[in-house]
């Protein structure tokens, strides 16, 4: 696991080594073990890497080069099937210089080309490859965007990095706010798609590769799920196959030459990962098969007791620490629990330095604390349970949308009357019912939307409003058209696809990567194995959402490895009690300063009077305003950190 960066000159001005050094110095937290730079003889391209050593500790130094030194690679991630690919490449005649998994990428590019090689990779990755012979730079990102990669093209220089801060080390990169992205963030809670809050700096989309050559940039997608129903399996058959794929996915992610542990919340997703990891590590004949590394120290040692880590909360509505302890005891792990307190919010300015973009939530704070605890325990690799909800429809709104769809056929006056009634339903459900969107792309946005619509319309200053009107675009622009290309008209399956394109990549995976790498931790996500997703995408909806039961198939698949209480428990999810914290009459000095009239005026984004009213109404107990207020505070901290 690493931090990578680089610069490619598209004019006659050569890349300077000092610029590359500045970039990788900004990424030292991602790779504390080794740094390296490659600068092409002509100065056309430079690559930099900060390495966190996981596999081939001694030999896997980066940048890597092929046999004749014409192709050079910096790589962030893990290729879990690299042993199979390495054997195939050696049969062809390639002679890798190291045991690093990145060698499969380097030599695979020579044999199969970029598109062919990416089809073969199984893992999480973001990499940059310079082909000296062709004068071509290639960037690529894994299928689910587990690992980040940002880029900008400015004044004859194409720059990229694992984190935006490495791009910002270059003095010619302007620090300007992308107002359209900010408006979207305050609506959805995060920034979806290729935009960032920094104008002119973009995310490489997941499952895409980019080529830059002779001043021309091309972007191409190499993988897509279509959710076409392909499997005719009974419930038990599908559950057995799901478990087999999960076992394989977990086994692949156990390879490590450094201490490995797992997060455990006490819920279904993390419980499944931990139970399967414990079973794999306890086998005397470590079940790696043909994937066993050639040197003994690369495998997890048999009889090593798996360490698990959880976080509890002083606020009882958020606390699941006792459930995690009970499940850890049942599975037999060496469990460690830490408690989140309101004082942990004081880490938020530092967290923003790593997060790099504001959000309308504060889940990054307990995540930061969790991975900090993992590092304090001496762990370097952590298995985590993200991705299961997007894989099998585990969020409450999936069930809510199924219940709501028939009601959308009612006349508008009746829908509005029902939405305003005392019937038990969430504020999001009332919004969906009132607006009555029949298209899932629009309705998906309605479900995710941050509360406080009336306040949001008043937040921006007049100058910002004018610019937004000139540059505004539909919130989910292009998604409805893309949905028409999917080979399913099932709104549930379409919603799963939308989640893979948005919230999974730009909120869940981004947070996990940034908060884990802030502490030099590699987070591995077994539920985000593309073989597993290709299987589940081909299953009918009833295997995922069965009546009122979300993730039905996973609950069935784990019937022999998890207790019934864990399998039947409703999803709670990691959250932070920021709404309660924001109701305090006085916040810590750093937060009060960020929300002060003077600070808001200096940033020039928000109307100070509107922010003050939003805060007063939230403190008075008006519901559904906490997320919007958190978004404002987050934006102010972000602006002070990176722009102002």
Is residue 262 classed as helix, strand or coil in its secondary structure? strand
Same fold, 2-174+202-221 and 224-457+468-576: no
Residue ranges in the chain modelled with pLDDT below 70: 1, 52-60, 283-304, 319, 463-477
> How much is the pLDDT for 471?
54
Relative to beta strand 334-340, strand 307-313 is parallel
> How much is the pLDDT for 95?
73
> How much is the pLDDT for 466?
65
Architecture of domain 2-174+202-221: 4-Layer Sandwich (3.60)
Q: Which residue has the tokens 């519901």?
A: 623
User: Partners of 221 in the beta sheet?
Assistant: 208
> How much is the pLDDT for 569?
84
Tell me the average pLDDT of the chain: 90
Relative to beta strand 202-203, strand 157-161 is unpaired
> How much is the pLDDT for 303?
44
532 token code pair: 């597993």
Residue 256 to residue 52: CA distance in whole angstroms: 12
pLDDT tens-digit series, residues 74-115: 999 999 998 899 888 888 877 777 778 888 999 999 999 999
Q: What is the pTM of this model?
A: 0.93
pLDDT tens-digit series, residues 587-640: 999 999 999 999 999 999 999 999 999 999 999 999 999 999 999 999 999 999
> How much is the pLDDT for 55?
52
> How much is the pLDDT for 167?
98
H-helix or E-strand spanning residue 348 = helix 348-355
Residue 96 to residue 100: CA distance in whole angstroms: 9
> How much is the pLDDT for 479?
78
Q: What is the fold, at CATH topology level, of the domain defined by 224-457+468-576?
A: Rossmann fold (3.40.50)
50 token code pair: 């900060």
What is the 8-class DSSP label of residue 571? P
> How much is the pLDDT for 301?
42
Burial annotation 236-268 (CB, 10 A radius, 16+ → b, else e): eebbebbbebbbbbbbbbbbbbbebbbbbbbbb
User: Partners of 46 in the beta sheet?
Assistant: 7, 39
User: Partners of 460 in the beta sheet?
Assistant: 606
Backbone angles phi, psi at 488, to 5 degrees: -155, 145
Residues contacting residue 377 through CB under 8 Å, at least 6 positions apart? 261, 307, 309, 336
Backbone angles phi, psi at 492, to 5 degrees: -65, -45
Residues contacting residue 234 through CB under 8 Å, at least 6 positions apart? none
> How much is the pLDDT for 35?
84
Going from N- to C-terminal start, the domains of the chain cover 2-174+202-221, 224-457+468-576, 577-644
Give the residue among 294, 329, 355 at the shortest CA–CA distance from 90: 294
Residue 154 to residue 458: CA distance in whole angstroms: 34
């Amino acid at each position: 696991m690493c931090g990578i960066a680089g610069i490619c000159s598209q004019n006659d001005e050569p890349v300077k080594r000092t610029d590359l050094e500045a970039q990788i110095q900004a990424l030292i937290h991602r790779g504390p073990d080794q740094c390296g730079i490659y600068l092409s003889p002509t100065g056309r391209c430079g690559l930099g890497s900060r390495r966190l050593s996981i596999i081939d500790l001694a030999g896997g130094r980066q940048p890597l080069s092929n046999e004749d030194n014409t192709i050079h690679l910096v790589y962030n991630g893990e290729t879990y099937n690299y042993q199979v690919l390495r054997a195939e490449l050696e049969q062809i005649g390639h002679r890798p210089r190291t045991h690093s998994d990145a060698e499969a990428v380097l030599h695979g590019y020579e044999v199969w080309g970029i598109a062919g090689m990416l089809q073969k990779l199984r893992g999480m990755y973001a990499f940059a490859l310079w082909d000296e012979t062709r004068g071509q730079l290639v960037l690529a990102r894994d299928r689910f965007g587990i690992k980040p990669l940002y880029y900008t093209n400015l004044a004859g220089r194409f720059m990229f990095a694992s984190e935006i801060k490495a791009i910002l080390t270059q003095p010619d990169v302007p620090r300007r706010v992308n107002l359209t992205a900010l408006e979207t963030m305050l609506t959805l809670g995060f920034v979806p798609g290729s935009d960032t809050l920094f104008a002119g700096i973009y995310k490489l989309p997941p499952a895409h590769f980019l080529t830059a050559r002779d001043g021309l940039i091309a972007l191409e997608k190499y993988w897509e799920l279509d959710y076409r129903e392909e499997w005719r399996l009974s419930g038990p058959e599908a559950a057995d196959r799901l478990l087999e794929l999960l076992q394989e996915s977990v086994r692949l992610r156990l390879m490590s030459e450094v201490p490995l542990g797992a997060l455990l919340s006490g819920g279904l997703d993390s419980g499944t990962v931990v139970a399967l990891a414990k079973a794999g590590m306890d086998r005397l004949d470590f079940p790696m098969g043909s994937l066993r590394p050639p040197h003994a120290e690369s495998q997890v040692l048999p009889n090593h007791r798996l360490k698990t880590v959880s976080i509890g909360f002083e606020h009882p509505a958020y606390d699941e620490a006792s459930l995690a302890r009970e499940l850890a005891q049942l599975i037999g792990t060496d469990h460690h629990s830490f408690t989140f307190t309101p004082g942990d919010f004081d880490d938020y300015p530092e967290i923003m330095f790593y997060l790099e973009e504001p959000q309308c939530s504060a889940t990054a704070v307990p995540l930061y604390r969790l991975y900090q605890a993992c590092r304090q325990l001496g762990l370097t690799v952590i298995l985590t349970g993200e991705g299961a909800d997007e894989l099998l429809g585990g969020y409450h709104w999936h069930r809510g949308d199924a219940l709501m769809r028939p009601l959308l056929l009612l006349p508008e006056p009746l829908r509005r009357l029902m939405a305003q009634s005392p019937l038990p339903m969430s504020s999001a459900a009332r919004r969906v019912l009132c607006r009555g969107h029949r298209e899932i792309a629009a309705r998906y946005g309605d479900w995710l939307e941050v509360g406080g619509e009336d306040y949001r319309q008043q937040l921006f200053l007049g100058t910002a409003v004018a610019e937004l009107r000139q540059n505004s675009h539909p919130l989910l622009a292009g998604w409805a058209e893309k949905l028409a290309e999917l080979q399913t008209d099932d709104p549930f399956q379409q919603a799963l696809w939308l989640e893979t394109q948005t919230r999974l990549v730009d909120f869940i995976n981004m947070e996990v990567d940034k908060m884990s790498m802030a502490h030099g931790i590699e987070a591995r996500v077994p539920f985000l194995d593309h073989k597993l997703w290709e299987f589940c995408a081909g299953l009918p909806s009833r295997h995922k959402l069965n009546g009122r039961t979300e993730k039905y198939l996973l609950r069935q698949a784990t019937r022999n490895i998890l207790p019934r209480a864990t399998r039947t428990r409703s999803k709670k999810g990691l959250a932070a009690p920021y709404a309660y914290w924001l109701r305090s009459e006085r916040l810590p000095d750093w937060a009060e300063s960020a929300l002060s009239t003077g600070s808001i005026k200096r940033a020039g984004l928000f109307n100070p009077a509107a922010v003050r009213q939003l805060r007063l109404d939230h403190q008075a107990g008006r519901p559904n305003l906490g997320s919007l207020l958190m978004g404002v505070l987050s934006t102010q901290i972000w602006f002070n950190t990176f722009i102002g």
